[in-house]
Amino acid sequence: MSTLSAPVHVRGLTRRYGTRTALEGLDLDLWPGVTGLLGRNGAGKTTLLRCLATDLEPSAGRIRLLGRDPERAAERARIRARLGYLPQNPEFYPYFTAFGLLDYMAVLKELGGRRARHDEVRRGLERVGLTDRRHSRIRRLSGGMRQRLGLAAALLGDPEVLLLDEPTIGLDPEQRIRFRGLVSELGVRSTVVLSTHQIEDVAALCQRVVCLDEGRVVFDGTPGELVDRARGHVWDHDGHPGRGHTAWRLADGRYRVLTPTSAPAGPGLEPVEPTLEEAYLLLTGAR
Amino acid sequence: MSPALPRSAGTFARLTWFNTVRLCRNPLLLPGTAVGSYLVLRPDLYYPAGLPMWEGWYDDTTTTATLVGVLMFVATAFPAMREARYSAAVVAPLGRSGRVLSLMAASVAVSTALTALAAGWELWLLSSPPAGTLSPMALPTPFLMAAAGPLASIALVLWTRSYLPLVLAVLAVPAYWLYGLALAESRLQSAVSRVEWAARVALHPFTMRAPAVTDVAAHFLAYTALVVAALVFLGLAARGHRARRTVCLAAVAALLAGAGGTVLHGRWAQPRDAPIADSRIHGAPEEPCEDREGITYCPLPGFEPWVDHWQAALVPVLDPLPERALEPGLVVWQESSSYTRGLEVPEERSVVVYSYLDPDDAYWRADLAVNTGQAVVGLPSPYGIDACRADGQARMVLAAWLGAAAVGEDRSQQVEALAMGMFPRLPSPVDLETGLALTEMPPERVGRVLEEHWEELSAPETDTADLADLLGVELRETSTAPADGADWDRVYPELGYGDLSPDPWSLTWPVCS
């Protein structure tokens, strides 16, 4: 299959803010399924999502979304009709009701006439468990509820490309499970990009992981491949291995130690099966 | 990226409808418009001021439109804020400019609908078809004025990303109220009066309001349209790429320059007191005057139906007069209340009527009759630049009596009309008593005397005592000096003029010749 036919096709994407480069020469092809976007703060995740959401213009490079060129106004409009985007910390007009906001977004997304639109809005509220708060003004909703509302807005019309920037912030465990169910269902036919610091969400949802560091892709593969890379670098130890290692105390009093090289850092180290989070930490060289 | 275009008019229309519905749900808007319209129309409902006119309706519509504009200025601040501060989360086929344009379209639609509703309501309440004409050029202007409010609000909010329109409204209302209270010479009063003056000039920078005059209305329309267009571009300039903002700001500058040029041209083309010929008035007939029973009536265009009322009001005035009193012919011509009419009429033997007519109003009939009587006897108006003293002259008393004859049988109204006709002429006690005696006589008897002695009685040399002699009236009053309050109270005790004294300025007038 040609990479050009990928729903998300990125070549040489560069984005600068003044003299600072947020993304540098990024190449990426994304297919239907859920892709986790990982990286430290400032790695370029939000910038990448905003470029993919056609909210931000690239400084250089080329993006094709759903086979269309977002540089062209008419095509950009078509892309936006089939794209869902939940920005980081979304702010909504506080005097809208929950229903009013989704109705407004549904109008903007061209979701048909009034009846079809309202059906879709009700479905959206039902999906995120806000049906009973549909008449509440947004300023009266909790942070978690607003987050769910933003998610419902992004999911309106079952978009073919769904871009989620930190979608599970403020969600309680029950809602996070519900969210995972929604996104995994949508990932069967849509291209979902999930930018998050919640590694367990990535582990639970994503078929693919892309890690960014300083605007560059430092890993692109499956979660299993990322974990594989970490094998032989994660250990348990009776005491703290000393400065220079990434280590933390476990509940049983022992220490989990990450070593960038596969050679043990010292005696008494016991190899353990790495988690995705540990693999990510090793990848980004966390201290 | 190049600016996003709306996919279709359908999406734009749906969003505009969405915005329209939400604006209409604003709790301030509909009740505010209803109350405002009621307050504007209330004087007409409870104190009807004559037969309806298109110009009066237009003035009311303009006032209501201004009110709607102010209400929309407040109401639109909320959805404008939605687009200014809370649209970052929105990635939609319709871009930011499209959404702002949609909000502008919705606010213009709502302000237009509310203005039309109020204007239609007043039209529906009118007792009869309005008189006069309106230039088609004048009709869109109130709607544009109403639209300017929300468009200004949107531009302010988008540029400041704040609820500045609400702040301005909240500050303006108490400041305006305090302005009316005891704050004379205070800084607040000075500031408020300056702002009010600026607002008035911005709303109407021309020398006159004359919606019937096509070129005057066209200037006003062009000015309003240019300002509204400038507000649209000002709103669009608040967001987007630098190049587009520059283009929009350049458009704003060009449009405002155009508006300023329109004002200058309008003021130059139509100075404040320059007369306006009928040919410049929309719907003017080729021949503005018509002759009826020896009198030439020259109504303003569209006021032709009023000639019947003028004619009917003059019947009791003309009946007792001999036919030769109307030679040379009398001209009753209508002056506009909003501009100086450029109509060639003889200075003498002409009666001016204005854009007010109430056939049931005795005062109006008396005023017309007195003015006609004065014209018939050759007296100039006491309110014009050629005002003169006619106390002691028989013709002055006769003119006042003609006015009293026009109000009908009601005695108290007759006396009031008589007093009204004489008062500005500084009548003497002899004049007062003779006038009163005339109203007590059968009109036929007075008519016979007029028939026999018209040339003598209409001459300035004939004094009131001569008239009394001819009528066989025995006078108790002897003074020919201007009557004071005591004289008025003595002769006309029912009027309560005891506190009056002759106007010193009138005492300096020359004697009418």
* B12: its two tokens: 């734009």
Q: What is the mean pLDDT of chain B?
A: 88
Q: How far off is chain A from B243, nearest CA to CA, in Å?
A: 15
With CB atoms and an 8 Å threshold, state whether A105 touches B92: yes
Interface test with chain A among B91, B166, B241, B242, by most A beta carbons within 10 Å: B91
Contacts of A105 in chain B (CB under 8 A): 90, 92
With CB atoms and an 8 Å threshold, state whether B91 touches A53: yes
Strands (E) in B241-343, as ranges, are 276-277, 290-292, 295-298, 330-334, 341-342
With a cut of 80, say whether residue A110 has pLDDT above it. Answer: yes
**pLDDT band with cut points at 50, 70 and 90 for residue A254:** confident
The pLDDT, as a whole number, for residue B195 is 81
* Look-up of token digits 């033997």: B349
With CB atoms and an 8 Å threshold, state whether B93 touches A110: yes
- Cα separation, A153 vs B91, in Å, equals 11
The pLDDT, as a whole number, for residue A265 is 57
Which residues does B contribute to its contact with A (CB < 8 Å)? Answer: 1-7, 10-11, 14-15, 18, 22, 78, 81-82, 85-86, 88-95, 99
- Cα separation, A223 vs B85, in Å, equals 38
With a cut of 80, say whether residue B8 has pLDDT above it. Answer: no
Contacts of B85 in chain A (CB under 8 A): 91
* Closest residue on chain B to A162 (Cα): B91
With CB atoms and an 8 Å threshold, state whether B85 touches A77: no
Which residues does A contribute to its contact with B (CB < 8 Å)? Answer: 53-55, 57, 70-74, 76-78, 80-81, 83, 85-87, 90-96, 100, 103-105, 107-110, 150, 153
Enter the ipTM: 0.84
Q: Side chain identity at A4, as an amino acid letter?
A: L
* Closest residue on chain A to B13 (Cα): A107
Higher pLDDT, A3 or A164: A164
With a cut of 70, say whether residue B273 has pLDDT above it. Answer: yes
Cβ atoms of B388 and B512 closer than 8 Å: yes
The pLDDT, as a whole number, for residue A2 is 60
With a cut of 80, say whether residue A4 has pLDDT above it. Answer: no
Length of chain B: 513
Q: What is the average per-residue pLDDT within B128-150?
A: 95
pLDDT tens column, B328-365: 888 999 999 889 999 888 877 888 898 888 888 888 88
pLDDT tens column, B280-320: 999 899 888 999 888 899 999 999 999 999 999 888 888 88
Q: What is the mean pLDDT of chain A?
A: 89
Cβ atoms of B138 and B211 closer than 8 Å: yes
- A to B CB pairs, distance under 8 Å: 81
pLDDT tens column, A41-81: 899 999 999 999 998 999 999 999 999 999 998 899 889 98
Mapping DSSP to helix (H, G, I), strand (E, B) and coil, where does residue A68 land?
strand
- Top mean-pLDDT range of A248-252, B60-64, B371-375: B60-64
With CB atoms and an 8 Å threshold, state whether B94 touches A108: yes
The pLDDT, as a whole number, for residue B4 is 45
The pLDDT, as a whole number, for residue B423 is 87
- Cα separation, B403 vs B351, in Å, equals 13
Q: What is the average per-residue pLDDT within A272-281?
A: 89
The pLDDT, as a whole number, for residue A235 is 85
Q: How far off is chain B from A79, nearest CA to CA, in Å?
A: 8
Show Cβ contacts of residue A284 under 8 Å, excluding neighbours closer than 6 positions.
Answer: A39, A40, A211, A213, A218
With CB atoms and an 8 Å threshold, state whether A77 touches B7: yes
With a cut of 50, say whether residue B5 has pLDDT above it. Answer: no
Higher pLDDT, B10 or B161: B161
**pLDDT band with cut points at 50, 70 and 90 for residue B45:** low
Show Cβ contacts of residue B467 under 8 Å, excluding neighbours closer than 6 positions.
Answer: B394, B397, B398, B434, B457
The pLDDT, as a whole number, for residue A73 is 85
With a cut of 50, say whether residue A199 has pLDDT above it. Answer: yes
Contacts of A72 in chain B (CB under 8 A): 2
Name the CATH superfamily for A1-82+161-221.
P-loop containing nucleotide triphosphate hydrolases (3.40.50.300)
* Closest residue on chain A to B99 (Cα): A108
With CB atoms and an 8 Å threshold, state whether B86 touches A80: no
End-to-end Cα distance, chain A: 40
Q: How far off is chain A from B70, nearest CA to CA, in Å?
A: 21
With a cut of 70, say whether residue B49 has pLDDT above it. Answer: no
With a cut of 90, say whether residue B251 has pLDDT above it. Answer: yes
* Closest residue on chain B to A77 (Cα): B93
Q: What is the average per-residue pLDDT within A144-151?
A: 90
Q: How far off is chain B from A108, nearest CA to CA, in Å?
A: 6
- Cα separation, B419 vs B337, in Å, equals 26
Interface test with chain B among A49, A65, A107, by most B beta carbons within 10 Å: A107
Tell me how far CA of residue B502 lies from CA of A225, B419, B506, in angstroms.
Answer: 111, 14, 8
Nearest one of B97, B128, B333 to B236, comparing CA atoms: B97
pLDDT tens column, B416-442: 889 988 988 889 999 999 999 999 898
Contacts of A83 in chain B (CB under 8 A): 91
Contacts of A153 in chain B (CB under 8 A): 89
B126: exposed, middle or buried (Cβ count in 10 Å: 0-12, 13-18, 19+): middle
Nearest one of A214, A223, A258, A255 to A41, comparing CA atoms: A214
pLDDT tens column, B373-398: 888 888 888 887 788 888 889 999 99
Kindly list the domain boundaries of chain A, sorted by start residue. 1-82+161-221, 89-158, 227-284
**pLDDT band with cut points at 50, 70 and 90 for residue A1:** low
The pLDDT, as a whole number, for residue B2 is 44
Q: Which of A74, A78, A83 sits opposite B91 (nearest CB)?
A: A83
* Closest residue on chain A to B83 (Cα): A93
The runs of H, that is alpha helices, within A27-172 are 45-52, 73-81, 98-108, 114-127, 143-155
* B131: its two tokens: 């008189």
pTM of the model: 0.84
